[in-house]
């Protein structure tokens, strides 16, 4: 099983590398009693995992991020490097295989290249050579040299800022148009909470639709609870919480039932919570920039605006030039081996009490894809504070 050639942006691919978050989520240990995630020492990969020789000293969720990065950089599934038995028994990820051994050597090689040639700066990553293939190419291709180059990936991190054409909109103007398109600053300012119900599909549901609820409270708390089948007719909650400071993911069917979010993962959860209340979008990020080349998403011309999140992650936003609505968010979470992109595509905007909200969104990342479709959204309803507490698996 291989991913499509561009796993992070092709929504309709058949096979998905799915196992990563399962383990990640699986392996995080609950925050020590009473303490919050931000005050405790994060759980390190080697505290939980059995056979970590190179990627030591990083939090567990970041370790799992490196696995997603490898899968994406080489277009390999988890069990292309790990034994197949790991799919049924998470402990078997610790077994060594020839590809795992090669990978360890490659990690050290990349570190040495960057150390020796780039002053330790991470200029070279697995992707530099591998480009979504397990065997890097060696000989230049005349077909590529003389053929039509493939279209630019609109998610390319390295989009180069142009000198804006005269009259090109600034970041501020694009954001203002978005706020206007959603119903205007006044109406958005009155949005203080919402509860949404609908369906969720993801790797942990084997692509079946299961019920999901989303709870969001201004300025920046957000919880998603999906009811995932665990066999014999019973379901368990698969929960993602951002409480305004700390974040957790708790999932059934995994080795360790809870993952404490750190670094770029925590930052991403904050961005999603903040973006639930778009009236405050200008405060959610800093260093706003526009003036990138325009691109298209599904035949919609889009304008790109870029910002930096509180945790210093780069966030790119793609606004429909015509409607002004936000079609896509791409953010990058840092790991020791490279940046991992996460993409959220928003659609099916519907109006409720004069405010437009997306009823459908799809999250695509290096290890899988989840789709949320809402059928009912209630605005400004009281939400029990317990909904934003650390989940109990
Ligand atoms: C390119 C090869 C490669 C791919 C693809 C890969 N891994 Fe790994 N994985 C490794 C290596 C190498 C290690 C050991 C790292 C070390 O020793 O520091 C490892 C270690 C692990 C461990 C720790 C096991 C233990 O107890 O020691 C887990 C869990 C894991 N991988 C899960 C995954 C999952 C889930 C995926 C799919 C998203 C995945 N891996 C994809 C190479 C890979
Ligand atoms: C400087 C270029 C370069 C970089 C950077 C690089 N690799 Fe490689 N890698 C290679 C080459 C070349 C081969 C093929 C060697 C061969 O054919 O024997 C290879 C082979 C591999 C293989 C074996 C594939 C197979 O199917 O047998 C794995 C796994 C691998 N690399 C993982 C990684 C990972 C993970 C990283 C990042 C930490 C990485 N590589 C970074 C050049 C690179």
* Distance, CA of 92 to CA of 204 (rounded, Å): 19
Identify which of 1, 66, 70 to mutate to test ligand 1's pocket (most ligand atoms within 8 A of the CB): 70
Closest CA to 26 of 6, 51, 45: 45
Q: Check if the beta carbon of residue 292 is closer than 8 Å to that of residue 274.
A: no
Q: What is the pLDDT of residue 17?
A: 35
**Looking at residue 2, what is its pLDDT?**
32
- State the 10-residue block means of pLDDT for the chain, 393 residues long: 29 32 33 41 86 96 94 96 93 96 98 98 96 94 88 62 72 97 97 98 89 97 94 89 96 78 95 97 94 86 93 94 97 94 97 97 93 98 97 84
Q: In ligand 2, which atom is closest to the CA atom of 70?
A: 35
Long-range contacts of 381-388 (CB under 8 A, 24+ apart): 381/193, 381/194, 381/195, 382/193, 383/193, 383/195, 383/215, 383/217, 387/215, 387/223, 388/215, 388/217, 388/221, 388/222, 388/223, 388/241, 388/242, 388/243, 388/244
Of 304, 349, 344, 341, which Cα lies nearest the Cα of 323? 349
Tokens of 135: 């065997």
Atom in ligand 2 nearest the alpha carbon of residue 138: 12
Among all ligands shown, which has an atom nearest to the Cα of 336? 2
Query: How remote is the CA of residue 262 from the centroid of ligand 1, in Å?
Result: 19
Pick from 211, 184, 247, 240: which is nearest to 31 by CA? Answer: 247
Segment 63-114, tens digit of pLDDT: 999 999 999 999 999 999 999 999 888 899 999 999 999 999 999 999 999 9
Each residue's pLDDT tens digit, 185-206: 999 999 999 999 999 999 888 8
Rounded to a whole number, what is the largest CA-CA distance in the chain?
63
Cis peptide before 361 (omega within 30 of 0): no
Q: How far is the CA of 90 from the centre of ligand 1 (A)?
A: 11
């Amino acid at each position: 099983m291989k991913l499509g050639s561009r796993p992070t942006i092709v929504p309709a691919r058949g096979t998905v590398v799915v196992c990563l978050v399962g383990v990640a989520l699986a392996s995080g240990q609950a925050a020590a009693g009473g303490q919050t995630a931000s005050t405790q020492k994060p759980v390190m990969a080697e505290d939980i995992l059995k056979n970590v020789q190179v990627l030591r000293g990083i939090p567990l969720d970041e370790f799992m991020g490196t696995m997603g990065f490898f899968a994406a950089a080489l277009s390999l599934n988890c069990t292309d490097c790990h034994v197949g038995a790991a799919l049924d028994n998470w402990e078997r990820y610790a077994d060594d295989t020839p590809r795992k051994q090669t990978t360890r050597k490659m990690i050290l090689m990349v570190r040495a290249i960057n150390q020796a040639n780039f002053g330790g700066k991470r200029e070279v990553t697995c992707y530099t050579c591998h480009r979504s293939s397990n065997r890097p190419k060696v000989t230049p291709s005349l077909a590529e040299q003389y053929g039509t180059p493939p279209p630019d990936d609109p998610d390319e991190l390295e989009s180069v800022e142009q000198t804006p054409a005269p009259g090109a909109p600034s970041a501020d103007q694009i954001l203002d148009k978005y706020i206007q398109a959603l119903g205007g600053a006044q109406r958005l300012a009155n949005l203080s909470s919402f509860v949404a119900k609908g369906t969720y599909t993801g790797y942990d549901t084997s692509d079946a639709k299961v019920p999901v609820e989303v709870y969001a409270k201004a300025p920046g708390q957000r919880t998603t609870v999906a009811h995932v089948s665990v066999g014999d007719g019973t379901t368990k909650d698969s929960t993602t919480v951002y409480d305004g400071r700390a974040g957790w993911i708790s999932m059934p069917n995994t080795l360790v039932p809870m993952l404490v979010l750190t670094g770029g993962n925590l930052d991403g959860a904050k961005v999603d919570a903040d973006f639930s209340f778009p009236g405050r979008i200008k405060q959610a990020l800093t260093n706003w920039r526009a003036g990138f080349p325009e691109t298209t998403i599904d035949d919609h011309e889009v304008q790109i605006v870029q910002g930096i999140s509180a945790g210093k992650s780069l966030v790119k936003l793609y606004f429909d030039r015509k409607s002004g609505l936000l079609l896509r968010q791409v953010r990058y979470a840092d790991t020791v081996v490279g940046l991992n992109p996460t993409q959220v595509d928003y659609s099916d905007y519907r109006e409720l009490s004069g405010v437009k909200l997306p009823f459908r969104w799809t999250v695509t990342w290096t290890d899988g894809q989840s789709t949320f479709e809402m059928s009912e959204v209630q605005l400004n309803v009281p939400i029990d504070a317990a909904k934003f507490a650390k989940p109990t698996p």
